[in-house]
Amino acid sequence: MAQEPSNDLFSKVTKTAGKHSPLEEAIRKLPLPVTSVFLGKDGKIRPAVFRETGMTLVCKGHERIAEVFPKTIAKSRSIILEAIPRGEAAPVRGKRVGVLFSGGPAAGGHNVLAGLSAALNGDNELFGIRKGPKGLINADVFQIRPHDIQTILNLGGFDFLGTDRTKIKTPEQFEKVKETVLKNKLDGLVIVGGDDSNTNAAFIAEYFETEGVNCCVIGIPKTIDGDMAAGNYLPISFGFDTATKIFSELVGNLNQDAASAVKYYHVVKLMGRTASKITLEVALQTKPAVTLISEEIAEKDMSLGQIVDYIVHIITERRKIGINHGVILVPEGLVEFIPEMKRLIGELNTVLAEYEKDVKDLPTLQNKQEFIYPHLSPPSAQVMASLPDEIQEMLILDRDDHGNVKVSQIETEKLLIEKIRYRISEMKRHPDKFFGEGGDRIEATAQQIADFQKLSLSTQSHFLGYEGRSSKPTRFDAAFTFLLGLTAGSLVLAGKTGYMAAVTNFDKGGRILALPLAGLVTSEMRKGKEEFVIEKSLVKLDSPSFTVFAENRERWAMQDLFSSPGAIQYWGPTSRQIPLIVALDQGYADFGTFNLGEEREIKID
């Protein structure tokens, strides 16, 4: 080689492989806070025990739910439990606890394992179930050694166990789960997942009670979307803080880029299948020019055209004051919240199910369109016809296993860009129709209109998602998940089943709760079939977080008051923030520093 290195830097760089980057090495050593209920008098971590609170948890249609979960509801009486220090009680020994990840990764999963391991405390054994629910069915189980936990402490991803999205539904699958539990003599099963996985956990708990399987089932609330939450009992799920901080970093950078290059509108779609909580948090963090919130659009019954008008209106008003750049945030789940689009998709699902073979047999997209249009209602046909061909093609051809439109695949950001471009070019050609007085017209001077006609609109589309799921957890998520693990471990040792571990009071040292899973489940009719689901926690339009956003968004847009909150910090003055929507909606005094107990070095052995 040209320059023979005169030092050992080669080997230093080589040694950073396999998760030994300088940050990974340093982060493993970060201390974690521990809520006082988990501390013995000797200051060591130990499992907590539980007492009943005066609070119960039931969902709408509880009578129906009580029929489906008779055993676990009889046992819990829907009462929320609260952790208290174990005190003088003898430690529980000899229990075997299995744990699995389910669904998409979220930051902090590995600290759930660390918390579990710390609760089991060497007196009990922890088993990992590989590749999610599929591993539970296939009995893909191995013992987790404390040493392994130390290597993944505070690191991101779900890769220590892997994950998958198998839904446990059939009697055969339940039978297999039972076999795995019996074969491995598991006294506890901890399922780390979102709403579907926790619904599954509720069913498995009930099934074990019915079958006399002596294994406690505990759920842990995970989802970057933040829609697995229960008000003051559980302000948020884990992974939300990290994902929104990553997205806010990137959106903040794009804000700064837009203002620097002074020519682009960056249109950013943000992961979040249903709720717009991610988008709301990112908007509060970054103050972009335009933010769409699905829940508001549904509430106001806005059409696609009205959404485009809203965006174009802001772009035009900004142009009038010389700003021809900015950031537009679009929640991933938007399309299903636009009433006319939802209707269209519903009709398409019906038509395509009924005429599946006919549609398949028609050779070209155009043939398929000609066949389908007459089967739609006129309003839906008009909406369909207004969509770009690629989107129509996707709606017709890209179906999931149940024959439904894959809504998450729709490139909403590109659809909006195309519609915005059409509208702006129309405005340039027919300024008299859009500017002037009366109706929805935009007030503008002749000079402003002339300026508008001269400027071009440059757009860049982005989709932020996967980058945010597997990041190293923020200090907040690292602490939150360690406590969730301690809670789940304590619940199993206390012989509790059918609960979800929960942490609240992030500003006051942490309060540890156990929420009866069946109390979270509700019954819904979907396509004439009853489905049991944990209701997703959506953005509430009367919440403090939405209110701050709604009160400020026009000012942000018209004064270009963006912020760029920057990369997640693990050290320094900004490393302990609480998500803004949590701090606002929980009524905390500040968002700058969480308080979940005293910090201590974590040694798992």
Measured from the CB of residue 505, what is the shortest distance to a copy of itself in angstroms?
15
Which residues between 14 and 73 bind a copy of itself (CB under 8 A)?
14, 16-24, 26-27
Closer CB to a copy of itself, 74 or 261, in the complex: 261
CA dihedral angle for residue 120, residue 122, residue 125, residue 129, rounded to 10 degrees: 70
CB of 460 within 8 A of CB of 470? Answer: no
Of 398, 466, 508, 527, the one binding a copy of itself (CB under 8 A) is 466
Type of residue found at 298: A
Contact code string over 113-132 relative to a copy of itself, x by CB under 8 A: ------------------x-
Whole-angstrom Cα distance, residue 57 to residue 80? Answer: 7
Of 350, 448, 574, 595, the one binding a copy of itself (CB under 8 A) is 574
Window of 211-219, 344-352, 458-466, 492-500 that interacts with a copy of itself by CB under 8 A: 458-466
Report DSSP state, residue 371.
H
Which residues between 152 and 211 bind a copy of itself (CB under 8 A)?
155-159, 162-164
Q: Where are the alpha helices (DSSP H) in 430-474?
A: 431-434, 446-454, 466-469
Closer CB to a copy of itself, 58 or 548, in the complex: 548
Measured from the CB of residue 555, what is the shortest distance to a copy of itself in angstroms?
8
Closer CB to a copy of itself, 75 or 462, in the complex: 462
Q: Among residues 491, 537, 506, 540, which one has the least CA distance to residue 205?
A: 491
Total binding residues toward a copy of itself, as defined by CB under 8 A: 98
Residue 599 touches a copy of itself, criterion: CB under 8 A: no
Closer CB to a copy of itself, 80 or 583, in the complex: 583
Q: Rounded to the nearest 5 degrees, what angle is found at the Cα of 54, between the Cα atoms of 53 and 59?
A: 100
Q: Rounded to the nearest 5 degrees, what angle is found at the Cα of 135, between the Cα atoms of 129 and 137?
A: 120
Residue 401 touches a copy of itself, criterion: CB under 8 A: no
Of 62, 96, 273, 472, the one binding a copy of itself (CB under 8 A) is 472
Residues in the chain: 605
Whole-angstrom Cα distance, residue 345 to residue 406? Answer: 10
Residue 461, strand partner residues: 267
Question: Residue 268: what are its φ and ψ, rounded to 5°?
Answer: -115, 115
Residue 601 touches a copy of itself, criterion: CB under 8 A: no
Measured from the CB of residue 461, what is the shortest distance to a copy of itself in angstroms?
10
Measured from the CB of residue 134, what is the shortest distance to a copy of itself in angstroms?
10
CA dihedral angle for residue 594, residue 597, residue 598, residue 604, rounded to 10 degrees: -110
DSSP one-letter string for 241-306: HHHHHHHHHHHHHHHHHHHHHSSEEEEEEE--SS--HHHHHHHHHH--SEE--HHHHHHTT--HHH
Closer CB to a copy of itself, 133 or 157, in the complex: 157
CB of 197 within 8 A of CB of 228? Answer: no
Measured from the CB of residue 232, what is the shortest distance to a copy of itself in angstroms?
10
Which residues between 277 and 316 bind a copy of itself (CB under 8 A)?
284-285, 287
Catalytic residues: 225
Of 87, 438, 589, 601, the one binding a copy of itself (CB under 8 A) is 589
CB of 97 within 8 A of CB of 124? Answer: yes
Which residues between 139 and 158 bind a copy of itself (CB under 8 A)?
155-158
Tokens of residue 157, six digits: 């991803």
Which residues between 520 and 559 bind a copy of itself (CB under 8 A)?
540, 542-544, 547-548, 552, 555-556, 559
Query: Under DSSP, is residue 33 helix (H, G, I), strand (E, B) or coil?
Result: strand
Of 149, 277, 577, 597, the one binding a copy of itself (CB under 8 A) is 577
Residue 450 touches a copy of itself, criterion: CB under 8 A: no
Which residues between 218 and 277 bind a copy of itself (CB under 8 A)?
246, 249-250, 252-254, 256-257, 259-262, 264, 266
Closer CB to a copy of itself, 144 or 584, in the complex: 584
Q: Is 587 left (phi over 0), alpha (psi -120 to 50) or beta?
A: left
Measured from the CB of residue 516, what is the shortest distance to a copy of itself in angstroms?
24
